[in-house]
Structure 1
Amino acid sequence: MDIGRRHLMALSGSLALAGLVGTATPAFSQSSSTTKIKPPRLKKGDTVGLVSPASKSLERFEYQISEEVVTALGLVPKRGQYVGKDFGYLAAQDKERAADVNAMFADKSVKAIMAVRGGWGCARILPYLDYDMIRANPKPLIGYSDITALHLALQAKTGLVSFHGPNAASAWGERTLEYFKPLLFDGAQPTFKNPVLKDGRLVQRKWRTQTITGGKARGHLIGGNLTVMTALVGTPYMPNTDGGILFLEDIDEAEYRIDRMLTQLGLAGLLSGLKGVVFGQCTSCKSSGGSGFELADVLEQHFKPLGVPAFHGAFFGHMSDQFTIPVGIEAEIDSDTGTVRLLEAAVI
């Protein structure tokens, strides 16, 4: 879903320097804490707004798939006004993509909002979102990858709990539904644990978690895509991570780039106040010629010195199935068993 995202982000940085991207007044400290707001739970027959806040779809068929997914969940899809347009590699112009997000939050008939896909572009629309209106109209926002920018901005500006989970055009396998529907429809408080595979092997090799530092920790869940999160450092859209459980994932990043981004988060002070860390999948994060460090080495170098429970290999990220993680909800992690247990419902 996000091949070439790194190149698009680099290009957008050049455009921003040229004054071609909407910008906000820079802030070089984390945003202050906001009151937690939980959205209402979903019920069968609810209308779900479909938006494209980032990259354009690579094929028009993704929009049809997205509508069919919403329908299969027992919900009613409603496309945003600008869904299906394109502007270069983006799904529409910045103000148009922001207008669709604003409109879906303002529309009383819409009970949840799902991103069709990620890619790159959400950070460009952050200055154009109406955070006061969004705060007054809480509803679930669902998506992952570049949608991380929206999750973090909503946390920083409104305190709204949102959901790092599948995009509408994602694969939506059985294991995804196992957590998604109880979480959003029933207000369940699941314990997320990687699946046990019955593949005929003596010892399971795939989807194993690995402990960095053992123990249990409690805190609010905060994070998402590492590349996107790093790009928000020093902006008013970065929420306070103190006391949090940081969860991260990424795709198509060499070990040294993961190292560089984690170094930036550390130098910015975003790691020092954490209670725990969960690193999910890092899909295709391996240098073709060998880097000298494995990804596990890099993660241990950054997270072990924190002295807090930490593990990697959790079942979320750029993959066909994944957990849906509520951003802003209190949870307990056990890094020895590789589990994340919600301590409260994410919806009301």
Structure 2
Amino acid sequence: MTCMLTPVRPRPGYRVAVLSPAAALPARLPAPFDLGLQRMRDELDLVPVEYPTTRTWGATPQERADDIHAAFADPGITVIITSIGGNDQIKVLPHLDAELIRSNPKPFYGISDNTNLCLFLDRLGIVSYYGGTVMTTLGRFGSTSPHAMEALRAALFAGGWYDLRPADGWTDMGKDWSDPANLRAEPELFPGTGWQWHGGDRPVEGRLWGGCLEILDWNLRANRWLRPDEEHQGRVLFLETSEEMPSDSYVYEVLMCLGERGLLQRFSALLMGRPKAWELMRPCTPEERTAYVEAQHAAVLRAMTEYSPDVPVVLDVDLGHTDPQLVVPFGGRCRIDPTAQTISVEY
């Protein structure tokens, strides 16, 4: 099994680096970001510390890398939490000092484009955390999600094993962040649907690896920041798709190429995040949303049946771009029991 280092976790009152290593959306949408910072203080008792590029739209990859280095090197910073995702963080990775980061490991939280940094840290043998960003988890409309905050607190402060559970209510429909009035409106949640279990009949345990499917695809193409394929043997793959709502054919083709590479067959299980099927700029009817989700499910199951038919596949896990946004430890251990239909992660 892959050897990984879990960085020392913070305590209430500690200083937290708040970075925008992907897109500095706080520069354009300060209201949900500031709300998230306030909740970081009030609900988590952590002290946010911003850096030069946290609110600098268009910061260069080198400038963003400089802030990453400063946050990891500062002994007064105990955890790094990102503002939100983006779409070009892969350009930052060539500017990173691997030895500096390896010598100063810290918990890193991010989703979406931050898959890039999670992959970089994984290669260094450092566990990171997929989820818990300032604008999505802490800056959520209305109030924070109790489900998401329970997982975030467990990951930040408690550590140990944590049982994930399906959401009682969920949504993938957001509101316009540019209208401050929307921040006071609670999201309308759909009834929970539970997880969908397919394949596999034996419990498995392995270290998590994956992230946003589209960003993982970028890294597989660039092939610069990944471990050798054989080091993923027995790990648990977790994937989710973004607000760009990729087609079912694209999802299948990425998994197909993982299979043709021989990498998909190395994983002991797959956790697939609930698909985001609605976006503010691409509103869909209920019928279109259902069709999109069903098509993605079919694409995932088709690829897994062709390349890795005997492993457990769990669909609609609440991670990634939907709400609630749970936290999973990238590189941390995960236990899956298909008979009991349970998923546990080690923070």
TM-score normalised per structure 1: 0.80
How much does 1:116 deviate? 0.3
The alignment partner of 1:256 has SS state of helix
How much does 1:143 deviate? 1.1
CA distance in 2, matches of 1:115, 1:315: 19
CA distance in 2, matches of 1:34, 1:300: 27
Q: Give the aligned partner of residue 178 of structure 1.
A: 150
Q: Name which of 183, 191, 197 aligns with 1:211.
A: 197
CA distance in 2, matches of 1:192, 1:288: 29
> Cα deviation per residue 1:252-297 (whole Å; 9 max; x = unaligned)?
1121121122122222222011111110111018996978x72221
Q: Give the aligned partner of residue 74 of structure 2.
A: 107
Return closer, same or farther for 1:126/1:34 CA change in 2, 3 Å cut-off: farther
- Is residue 82 from structure 1 mapped to residue 50 from structure 2 by the alignment? no
> Any residues of structure 2 matched to 1:294-333 within 5 Å, and which?
294-305=295-306, 306=308, 307-333=310-336
- Is residue 128 from structure 1 mapped to residue 95 from structure 2 by the alignment? yes
Q: Give the aligned partner of residue 59 of structure 1.
A: 29
The residue type paired with residue 191 of structure 1 is: D
- Is residue 151 from structure 1 mapped to residue 103 from structure 2 by the alignment? no
- Is residue 98 from structure 1 mapped to residue 91 from structure 2 by the alignment? no
Q: Name which of 186, 189, 211 aligns with 2:161.
A: 189
CA distance in 1, matches of 2:156, 2:48: 16
Q: Give the aligned partner of residue 14 of structure 2.
A: 46
The alignment partner of 2:275 has SS state of strand
The residue type paired with residue 311 of structure 2 is: V
- Is residue 238 from structure 1 mapped to residue 226 from structure 2 by the alignment? yes
- Is residue 283 from structure 1 mapped to residue 250 from structure 2 by the alignment? no
> Cα deviation per residue 1:81-119 (whole Å; 9 max; x = unaligned)?
2221112xxxx1110111111110011111000110102
The residue type paired with residue 340 of structure 1 is: I
How much does 1:230 deviate? 1.1
CA distance in 1, matches of 2:53, 2:314: 40
The residue type paired with residue 296 of structure 1 is: H
Q: Is the 8 A contact 1:230 1:264 kept in 2?
A: no
Q: Give the aligned partner of residue 161 of structure 1.
A: 127
Q: Give the aligned partner of residue 221 of structure 1.
A: 208
The alignment partner of 2:225 has SS state of coil
CA distance in 1, matches of 2:206, 2:53: 38
Q: CA RMSD in A?
A: 2.5
CA distance in 2, matches of 1:136, 1:207: 43
> Cα deviation per residue 1:219-248 (whole Å; 9 max; x = unaligned)?
111111111111101512123422100011
CA distance in 1, matches of 2:12, 2:302: 46
- Kindly indicate which of the two structures has a greater share of residues assigned to helix: 2
The alignment partner of 1:191 has SS state of strand
Q: Is the 8 A contact 1:62 1:116 kept in 2?
A: no
Q: Give the aligned partner of residue 118 of structure 1.
A: 85
Q: Give the aligned partner of residue 253 of structure 2.
A: 260
CA distance in 2, matches of 1:153, 1:163: 13
Q: Give the aligned partner of residue 71 of structure 1.
A: 41
> Any residues of structure 2 matched to 1:18-37 within 5 Å, and which?
35-37=3-5
How much does 1:336 deviate? 4.6
CA distance in 1, matches of 2:70, 2:111: 20
Q: Is the 8 A contact 1:86 1:93 kept in 2?
A: no
Q: Is the 8 A contact 2:275 2:322 kept in 1?
A: no
The residue type paired with residue 144 of structure 1 is: I
Deviates most, 209-218 or 132-141 = 209-218
CA distance in 1, matches of 2:253, 2:40: 38
The residue type paired with residue 84 of structure 1 is: R
CA distance in 1, matches of 2:342, 2:276: 20
Identity %: 26
How much does 1:162 deviate? 0.4
The residue type paired with residue 195 of structure 2 is: T
How much does 1:56 deviate? 2.8
TM-score normalised per structure 2: 0.81
How much does 1:140 deviate? 0.6
Q: Is the 8 A contact 2:24 2:83 kept in 1?
A: no
Q: Is the 8 A contact 2:24 2:53 kept in 1?
A: no
> Cα deviation per residue 1:161-196 (whole Å; 9 max; x = unaligned)?
000012111124111111111222011311112134
